[in-house]
Structure 1
């Protein structure tokens, strides 16, 4: 039986691959892509069966370009996964912290370790495309004066030693990833949905729509506004809802359809518990 192919942004052992393992299990084939757009293209071209896409981080906030990709490609969301982000400083075996002159990692990962770098002002920090790619570069080029900030999986895969564990400033750091597929799947356990819509510019129009869900005991867990490209003062709203009774959710949707434009259900799926 062929393995499930999952497109990820970044290199093997990246947080995206770790999230894919958490959702699908480790018996999968990961398709490495240079960008989030490339992951969507891989799914569109049937080179992948699924995409794992980061959508928000508890510290860095929403990944706004990825909301544009959800609109552009319209791939259904079939699931979500939360991953605790644990960042470690790693280098070639035998190298000590005193030998490290440079540290490379993804810019968001570096920002999340600001306190550590304040304590080590002699270390020069430089940004890379991906946490795991920086670990791979150190391993392949035998860089004895450079360390990477990445996850434990990267240290294991690329044969590096962890010099300092959990150097992230905020220990309650997690990222939410969406699971995208080419076609929607039937999920009888669905209790969460991601939708998008526009309202007119009249006073209280958004509040009126959101109130339909509140009236039916539907919990709004996330709202994100995005400008409509090329349209002044027009916004599209991305909203996540959670429900206990499917009939309540369906009733709220019926009301919402009458008072919104460009309404889309981006996905109905099972809520994943946070880390």
Structure 2
């Protein structure tokens, strides 16, 4: 059975993503931080890790880009998870009783319109993840409390759902990366994550990116990440997609002339994003 490290506890969106990606019985290893997740992979205590990298509302998790580089991990896959937020309580608690709400900071951000409309005076308690918030109100039964999280955590921790789909944007998705200590080459690879640095002169970044366009490579994402300890210096992270492997190989050889410190973080099969119209 594969051991998969995730940030958070059983019932979290990270666990949802891991189960959906591997499509088999797995052992989820709970970690308190993303750094711990990477350490588990690096020390061979788990087979893989599943780690969030961006959300369609909250944006990118810049620290996670740095962690992947620092631990020299390989991206072997990705999966998009539709994020639905729900208001849950211990049995017997009514909506009119709620004065305290527990969840993850990003979950609060995604549901703020709902909170401001229906619970403007409630005290918000930020925690490690949504599943931990659900477990807390289940175990400790704080008075007049609710949690915001997914349906699985409500099921696991015996909570009642007062309202479903309370997120502001119904087309809310998180992209998760599947990480390994070593690469996992596949003939199905049609996407890669790269990072590099360019010189401080006009046109340097454009010159590098034009290489991909010239070789019919789609630039799916570009993200600059500050270089720690070097003000005004950045590592450029890009996700690229291709139809013809030959074009990808050619582009990689050409882009080396325009950049420094090029690293291929992973080559993998592109994850499918199935939009929900709710």
TM-score, normalisation: structure 1: 0.97
Aligned ranges for residues 1-275 of structure 1 at < 5 Å?
3-25=1-23, 27-119=25-117, 120-275=119-274
Deviations 1:57-87 (A, max 9, x none): 0000000110110110111100000001100
**Cα contact 2:196–2:235 (8 A) shared by 1:** yes
In structure 2, C-alpha distance between the alignment counterparts of 1:117 and 1:233, rounded to whole Å: 38
Q: CA–CA distance in 1 between the matches of 2:63 and 2:221?
A: 17
TM-superposed CA distance for 1:234, in Å, is 2.1
Q: CA deviation at 1:197?
A: 0.6
User: How much has 1:231 moved relative to structure 2?
Assistant: 2.1
- Asked if 1 retains the 8 angstrom alpha-carbon contact of 2:38 and 2:68, the reply is no
Q: Tell me if the contact between 2:89 and 2:147 (Cα under 8 Å) persists in the aligned partners.
A: yes
Q: Secondary structure at the match of 2:254?
A: helix
Secondary structure, counterpart of 2:131 in structure 1:
helix
**Post-superposition CA distance 1:5-31 (Å, at most 9, x none):** 000000110010011011012510000
Q: Distance in 1 between matches of 2:68 and 2:32?
A: 18
Kept after mapping to 2: 8 A contact 1:50/1:179: yes
| More divergent stretch after superposition (123-132 vs 46-55) | 123-132
Q: Distance in 2 between matches of 1:141 and 1:202?
A: 58
| Unaligned stretches of 5+ residues in structure 1 | none
Tell me by how many angstroms 1:144 deviates.
4.6
Bigger mean CA deviation after superposition, 234-243 or 115-124: 115-124
Are the equivalent residues in 2 in contact too, given 1:92–1:143 (CA < 8 A)?
Answer: no
**C-alpha displacement of 1:196:** 0.5
Q: For the residues of structure 1 that align with 2:209 and 2:154, how far apart are their CA atoms?
A: 45
SS at match of 1:129: coil
Instruction: Please state whether the residue corresponding to 1:187 is helix, strand or coil.
Output: coil
For structure 2, which runs of at least 5 residues remain unmatched after alignment? Answer: none
User: Does the 8 Å CA contact 1:92/1:144 hold for their aligned counterparts?
Assistant: no
Contact 2:98–2:122 (Cα < 8 Å) also in 1: yes
Distance across 1 between alignment mates of 2:234 and 2:104: 30
SS in 2 for 1:38: helix
Q: Is the 8 A contact 1:193 1:267 kept in 2?
A: yes
Q: TM-score, normalised by structure 2?
A: 0.96
How many residues are matched? Answer: 273
- Farther off after superposition, 71-80 or 18-27: 18-27
